[in-house]
Amino acid sequence: MSNELFNQGKWQEAIASYKKLLELHAGSADIYWNLSQCYRNLNLLDDYFQTLQQGIQLYPTDGKLHFTLIIDLQRHGRIQEAIASAEIACQYLPDDYTFKLLKYLTVPNIYKTPEEIKFYRQRFTKGLQDLIEQTSLNTLAEKHSALAGIGRLTNFYLSYQAQNDVELQRQYGNLVHQIMAANYPQWVVPLSIPKLQPQQKIRIGYASAYLHSYSGTLWLTGWLKYCDRHNFEIYCYYTGNEPDPITQQFQDYSDVFYHIPHNLPAVCEQIIADKLHILVFPEIGMDPQTMQMASLRLAPVQCVAWGHPVTTGLPTIDYFLSSELMEPENAQEHYSEKLIRLPNIGVSYPQPYIPPILKSRADFGLSDDAVLYLCCQAPFKYLPQYDFIFAEIARYVPQAKFIFLRGTLLQERLNRAFAAVDLNSEDYCIFLTIPERIDYLMINLLSDVYLDTFCWSGGNTTLEAIACNLPVVTCPGEFMRGRHSYSFLKMLGVTDTIAKNETEYIEIAIKLGLNPAWRHSIAQQMSQSHDRLFDDQACVAGLETFYKQVVEKSL
């Protein structure tokens, strides 16, 4: 009965039922896990973590309880508890590689201070060395455990420290490659490029877990839509399982489309059977199975694009497909792959549909006389050394309201930053939860200024803000991942809101807040230049020239 209530999503009733069950007898690890999920779905986090810990005390060798606890402690900013829990898991499950990865490589998703970034980077660097030294792949059990571990995790959060990650990524990439080679030795041997017969097309494959409405892959529809069908044949491999109308677009734009969810051997066999000339991963580093596939040799030429804009470090990825406008001069130093700078922003992003304004500020509890600064990035993009910027803007724009859509984890830091200039952050910072896309677009349309993040710029979010003609304040960073918005504004030809440094960023944000006429002028300039930015076909022509050159060179 408890499980039936759980399956129906009746969380309160399920909690009462599970508690009765546990009073009658000890239960099982699954009962504690299910009970914890009821608390999680009701956002009762203390009860959630406590239940997981109770389950672990009774069932200390249950990997699912340990894994869930560690991952969610990290997700909620409780990093020291997460690491301590990983060390406990390693004691109970010493042969489970998953917990070795978590013990050595867990880093925060939110940093409290800049000093924390330095501390955890040093910890990761040392931990990675220890992990590599302790990784044994001699027995079948060791090979399988390591394979399962890297199939559950990636080192996603490392790249949010705003450092050059190429050396650490190389070390990690080589480790993943060795684990995959030990398990699939038949899929790491070099492949020769298939000969092109007369009238035959170059076969290009795209493999991703995100061939649906997702920020890291949405731009790929443009590459496929504007593909030269006379010379290229498109194969898509969808390894996730959340199909939606965008999935249908990927299917429509493909010559061959496979949906092979969560089955690594099956998708690898299919890719090899298709004898591709070039295999492209739109992103590597977010989805564990994609990372595993990319560390094999499934096609003679393998590329990654900037869906996750960081070098992979994998010895099996030959080229990084980036953007001429985004990359700084010394960019090759940031990549283990050979860098290819495609024209303009490198992708053909479809112009988003923007609805008419259907709601008012009052619908979101927002004041009509406020100057709304939209801060819509994921919380891990906000680094503590830049918190002072919000407080500085507020000092000069008394009506300022900073709208954070996913930023509740930042509240403690923002309190400190505003208090440092004798302001109360609660007077200026608003935290909204916007589950519906239409409401997200409404917030863009109702806001006055979009504040881009430093070091890791907005991508999808900035493009949508531009489509809503919302003025964007940005400051290009050292690495490509901090230069997306900069490149979009350069392509639009609207460059007055690009700052050279933090001081200028604050000045531009203040001027936009206090000068509605200038704000309106910037918005008008943006609206007149959409055609320059969206559905760009020059980058597709550049991409296909690259494809042809690579194939000709390899024949």
The answer to whether 283 and 308 are in contact (CB under 8 A) is yes
What pLDDT does residue 24 have?
83
Quick one: DSSP state of residue 498?
Answer: B
The answer to whether residue 355 sits within a structural domain is: no
Which residues sit opposite 340 in a β-bridge?
Answer: 321
**Residues contacting residue 509 through CB under 8 Å, at least 6 positions apart:** 373, 389, 393, 397, 449, 451, 473
What pLDDT does residue 198 have?
86
- Per-residue pLDDT, averaged over 141-150, amounts to 97
Q: Are 124 and 225 in the same domain?
A: no
* Cα dihedral 256, 273, 208, 237 in deg (nearest 10): 30
The answer to whether residue 181 sits within a structural domain is: no
The answer to whether 468 and 351 are in contact (CB under 8 A) is no
Q: Are 374 and 491 in the same domain?
A: yes
Question: pLDDT digits over 392-437, tens only?
Answer: 999 999 999 999 998 788 999 999 999 999 999 999 999 999 888 9
The answer to whether residue 176 sits within a structural domain is: no
Q: Answer yes or no: is pLDDT of 113 > 70.
A: yes
Q: Which token pair is 302? A: 């393998």
Report the run of H or E that residue 431 belongs to, with start and end.
strand 429-431
Question: pLDDT digits over 240-289, tens only?
Answer: 999 999 999 999 999 999 999 999 999 999 999 999 999 999 999 999 99
Question: Whole-model pTM?
Answer: 0.95
What pLDDT does residue 2 have?
85
Q: Are 252 and 316 in the same domain?
A: yes
Q: Answer yes or no: is pLDDT of 104 > 90.
A: yes
Q: How far apart are CA 107 and CA 87, in angstroms?
A: 14
- Per-residue pLDDT, averaged over 67-90, amounts to 96
Q: Are 330 and 381 in the same domain?
A: no
Q: Are 260 and 405 in the same domain?
A: no
Domain count of the chain? 3
What is the chain's alpha carbon radius of gyration, rounded to the nearest angstrom?
A: 25
**Residues contacting residue 58 through CB under 8 Å, at least 6 positions apart:** 26, 29, 32
Return the CATH number at 18: 1.25.40.10
Q: Are 365 and 475 in the same domain?
A: yes
**Burial class of residue 94, CB neighbours in 10 A (0-12, 13-18, 19+):** exposed
Q: Are 299 and 383 in the same domain?
A: no
Q: Are 106 and 210 in the same domain?
A: no
Return the CATH number at 318: 3.40.50.11380
Q: How far apart are CA 437 and CA 106, in angstroms?
A: 32
The answer to whether residue 175 sits within a structural domain is: no
Residue type for 170, please? R
| Residue ending a domain, choose from 164, 199, 228 | 164
The answer to whether residue 240 sits within a structural domain is: yes
Helical segments of 96-156, H only = 97-105, 114-134, 140-150
Question: pLDDT digits over 462-516, tens only?
Answer: 999 999 999 999 999 999 999 999 999 999 999 999 999 999 999 999 999 999 9
Report the mean per-residue pLDDT for the chain: 96
Return the CATH number at 370: 3.40.50.2000
Q: Are 346 and 242 in the same domain?
A: yes
What pLDDT does residue 26 have?
67
Q: Are 282 and 335 in the same domain?
A: yes
Q: Are 245 and 283 in the same domain?
A: yes
**Residues contacting residue 494 through CB under 8 Å, at least 6 positions apart:** 522, 525, 526, 529
Quick one: DSSP state of residue 284?
Answer: -
| Residue ending a domain, choose from 112, 130, 164 | 164
The answer to whether residue 182 sits within a structural domain is: no
The answer to whether 29 and 55 are in contact (CB under 8 A) is yes
**Residues contacting residue 132 through CB under 8 Å, at least 6 positions apart:** 171, 175
The answer to whether residue 169 sits within a structural domain is: no
Domain with 280 in it: 187-350+536-554
Q: Are 310 and 209 in the same domain?
A: yes
Task: Return the residue matching tokens 């949010």.
Answer: 160
